[in-house]
Structure 1
Amino acid sequence: MTPLTRSACWIVVALASALVGVGRADDKKPTADDDKKPTVMRRKLAHAQKVLEGLAVNDFDKIRTGSDGLIACVQDETWKINQTETYLLYSNEFVRRAERLKKAAKDKNTDAAALAYVDLTLTCVRCHQYLRDER
């Protein structure tokens, strides 16, 4: 493992840990309806976790599948909760980052995939901060 790969992996693990911890603090108690149809953000989290798992075990098919799922989330009608220019910018950036992640997986480039995942995660964090500030 190259020093860049090792550093990128630590960054990915740190960001993922932070996101999981932050996400849990804001969660409401699940209801029976929540289990029937996960929200688009729950699906996004599941796909992101699949990508992280793929990065951890060097499974490029898992990374690619997770990337496809992330891109599909953006196409869900419930994704479009805000039509401001800033929100649309974040959404477009998210798709570009997910596409870059998918390409890195196709190229079997662990370093590029790990860095794309970090960029994707940072885009999520920034967008969620923006949405919280807008409320």
Structure 2
Amino acid sequence: KNTNFFCYLRKLIVCQSLNRHSHSFLSSSSYILTSIYSFKGRNNTTYQEEKRKEMGRGKIEIKRIENSSNRHVTYSKRRNGILKKAKEISVLCDAHVSVIIFATSGKMHEFSSTPLVDILDQYHKLTGRRLWDAKHEAPKG
């Protein structure tokens, strides 16, 4: 089995050395490594599958973060991520989006692609439930 592998490797090196003028040595060597991993993994996994296993983030358990400093950092990063995604979906898909986030400190962060009143009216028309009544509005005067 090793003999087949080394024959395969030798053929790759020869083919790549013939084409060296059109490719840099680095790209040639990475091509060879990719091919080696693909060859070795024919019965198991390919190079791309191995790389996919190495990359990416692990899953975290969704539970309250006890350390207040870590909790604040996580809140800030996730808040910014949610607001960014809300902006992106409104631009990419022409969707009407409104996001309001309150921190435990009481500070509010918001994004609305269209006036919030319009979004609430549309919600009321579709569901029949009013989220906002006139009694909540400040008196005009």
TM-score, normalised to structure 1's length?
Answer: 0.24
Whichever structure has more helix as a proportion of its residues is 1
For the pair shown, which has the larger CA radius of gyration, 1 or 2?
Answer: 2
Higher share of residues assigned strand: 2
Tell me the TM-score normalized by structure 2.
Answer: 0.23
Q: Comparing both chains, which one has the higher relative contact order based on Cα–Cα distances under 8 Å and sequence gaps of 6 or more?
A: 1
